[in-house]
Amino acid sequence: MTVGIVHEGVAIPLLWWMLPKKGNSNSDEREQLNKNQNSLINQLRQRLCCEHPEIAQKNLDYIGVNGFNPTLGHIAELRNNSRIKTTAGTGISEYSRLLAKDIVTYQDRIAVKEKNRREILELEQFKGYCQVFDQFLFGTVTQSLLLLHCYPIERFLVNGKPYFRGNHDISLRKFQAYLGLGYSYQISGDTSAKQDKVKKSWKGSDLMRSHL
């Protein structure tokens, strides 16, 4: 895998390339693939409610078995699934089979992009970070986002130690803000109320916060 620019031995450009960040054409494509896939899955579910209600609510996400979801593979006639029996519905139509094939195609393309991200996450310089992420069961996308926002962790420290201003842990506050978990309090000046209203306002990356 080719790295365009290496900064202090770290594949930052490659890491940036793989992340779901606005303006990144590669990751924008991944998000668009996922959006289109979900739209097709919703269409297929609606049709299956009449055609094969027994499998209409089954998991249709990509799970890496033989390259596609076994239920989708059965619908698309790519592979027989012996667990799927006859139906009380009208039967799977040709249109639904084509929908299933289209979904499988999208899932294949998404899987390729996920594989690229995993290869980068397995680089030696990210090993310690990913070991911590794994303890929280974070997925590939979330781990990628976390690396972008908190690597290297030294960016939040001063001379390798947390920076305090009085009793305030500035390093922690900065770290929280980078992850979209920073906050501030706003107190209203409504004198008609018995007490001031305190409102907690989040600060930092909305995208990062939505994945945590």
User: Per residue in 47-86, pLDDT tens?
Assistant: 999 999 999 999 898 775 556 788 998 999 998 888 888 8
* Distance from C-alpha of 212 to C-alpha of 71, rounded to nearest angstrom: 30
32: confidence class by pLDDT, cuts 50, 70, 90: confident
- CB burial of 59-79 (b: ≥16 within 10 Å; e: otherwise) equals ebebeeeeebbbbbbbbbebe
* % residues pLDDT > 70 (the chain): 76
Q: Give the chain's mean pLDDT.
A: 80
pLDDT in tens, 92-148: 999 999 999 999 999 888 888 888 888 888 889 899 999 999 999 988 888 888 888
Stronger pLDDT, 43 or 4, i.e. the higher one = 43
Q: What is the pLDDT of residue 25?
A: 52
Q: How far is residue 109's CA from residue 89's CA, in Å, rounded to a whole number? A: 32
